[in-house]
Chains A and B, each alone.
Chain A
Amino acid sequence: MIRKFFILIILLAFSIILTGIITEYVSPEALGTAASYYAEKGPGEMGATNLVTSVLITYRGLDTLGEVTVLFLVASILGFYLNVQKSNKNSTCSPLLHTASRLIFPFIFLTGIYIIINGHITPGGGFQGGAFIASAFLLVLLAGLGKDKSTGLFSILESLSGLVYVLVGLAGIIFAGGFLDTRILPLGESGKLLSAGAIPVISILIGIKVGAELSSMIVKLSYNGQGN
């Protein structure tokens, strides 16, 4: 009874805080200082037509590197706690799912790659495309198509892409303004596929890394605990 009372009090307190946010919200009339700098200088400086991508990869690049590191840490912890067991259990999925997933898999994969490499000119980028690719692998797992349960290739891919990401960042110190400065490659014509300096390169690296990490997480989570 007392527990329920405390739960009610906690929920009420949260409601009061959130009501304060809603009622005192005033729609801003102009962009903030950082945002107006990005809006004014961003397209000319970085050459990317998608401002969110240039904020994510160049201006706030260190945050993105930290985020990728957190994801890598979580994937490592998952690998530490869950070891993939060889399960002899034959998966019993419907033939409909089995056939359809074989047909759809390459298209989902291709869409993921498209989202990754067009991240700097249209909505998209490494994280979104990587999640797309991981969802393709989830479909394969659901259909029981994955014969090989090892995650060795995924670990090699994610380690390599993380390493190259840091190296590209370090190249920014030598050839451009600072760490993770993407102006090490020519900016090119805005709106074209090969433009915006190293932003597409980093997008592709993040896409490979996120896709490999999410896929290995899904594989580890789905093949654990079936043996005992």
Chain B
Amino acid sequence: MATITLITGSMLIIIGFYAILVKDNLIKMIIGFSLANTGLHIIMVSLGFLKNRTAPILDPQQTELNLLNNILDPVPQALVLTAIVIGFAVTALLLVVALKLHDKYQTLSIQKMWEEK
């Protein structure tokens, strides 16, 4: 189970880096950044996976449940929650930079920006 999510996350990271490095359009590069970001989150969450366990949310009726042997690691989940929000913030900043560049050069293509310079 964890292997599937690890492979998915890795593929998303590779696709994202490919888009960042190869694409000419700024918006497509930002989409690539977003993809790589999501892949990283998937990898982080799957590293906290343990077999045959459930989410770290308790049922108040089952107070005698042995938590230590029945729940997943809550730490990576809390960290990823943080990382998602920071990823959103960075994406918003990147979009502002793209907007400002578009205001100045009237284009989103990096190649054309170089030519105009």
Contacts and interface: CB of A to CB of B under 8 A. Distances in A.
A1 B22 CA distance: 12
Given A31-B50, A82-B96, A67 B82 contact: yes
Contact of B75 (A35, A49, A74): A35
Tier of interface size on chain A: 35 or more
Interface of A: 7, 10-11, 14-15, 18-19, 21-22, 25, 27-32, 34-36, 38-40, 42-43, 49-52, 55-56, 60, 63-64, 67, 70-71, 73-74, 77-78, 81-82, 122-123, 125, 127, 189-191, 210, 214, 217, 221, 224-225, 228
A28 B50 contact: yes
A28 B50 CA distance: 6
A60 B78 contact: yes
Given A22-B6, A49-B58, A221-B99, A71 B89 contact: yes
B82 A52 contact: no
B99 A10 contact: no
A217 B78 contact: no
Contacts of B90: 74
Contacts of A51: 56-58, 71, 74
Interface residues of B, number: 48
Contact of B100 (A42, A81, A190): A81
Nearest to B100: A81
> What is the interface of chain B mostly: helix, strand, loop, or mixed?
helix
Given A25-B2, A27-B2, A56-B81, A49 B73 contact: no
Nearest to B58: A49
Contact of A18 (B10, B51, B96): B10
Interface string B50-94: 110001111110000001110101110111011011101110110
B68 A31 contact: yes
B21 A22 contact: no
